[in-house]
Amino acid sequence: MFVVASVLTFIAAIGINLLGIELAGGIPEWQQWLKDNTGYFRLWRILLYSVLAYGWYRLRRQLHRQGISPEQHHRLLRTEIALVALLLLLELLVN
């Protein structure tokens, strides 16, 4: 299911970029439009990360209420650290 969702997301991203290039009138105009709207994309990512963090917090709280073993807690913590590191790396690459 993850692979299908990833492929569909990739196809949607390609389609949106092709549509944007077409509507902007070419690749240079599309690139300029992207640069002109950088602030809006940054705000979008901040909102997206906030919603994801809130959802993760609620899920984590629910897991701890149900009771998890120390090993499961350790794996969860490693996953959280890896996810934050990945998002930081992606943001550094974008900017």
pLDDT at res. 64: 86
**pTM of the predicted protein model:** 0.70
63 touches 54 (CB < 8 A): no
In angstroms, what CA-CA distances link 25 with 12, 32, 33? 20, 11, 11
pLDDT at res. 28: 94
Nearest-angstrom CA–CA distance, 26 and 40: 21
pLDDT in tens, the chain (95 residues): 889 999 999 999 999 999 999 999 999 999 999 899 999 999 999 999 999 999 999 988 998 899 888 898 899 899 999 999 999 998 898 76
55 touches 61 (CB < 8 A): no
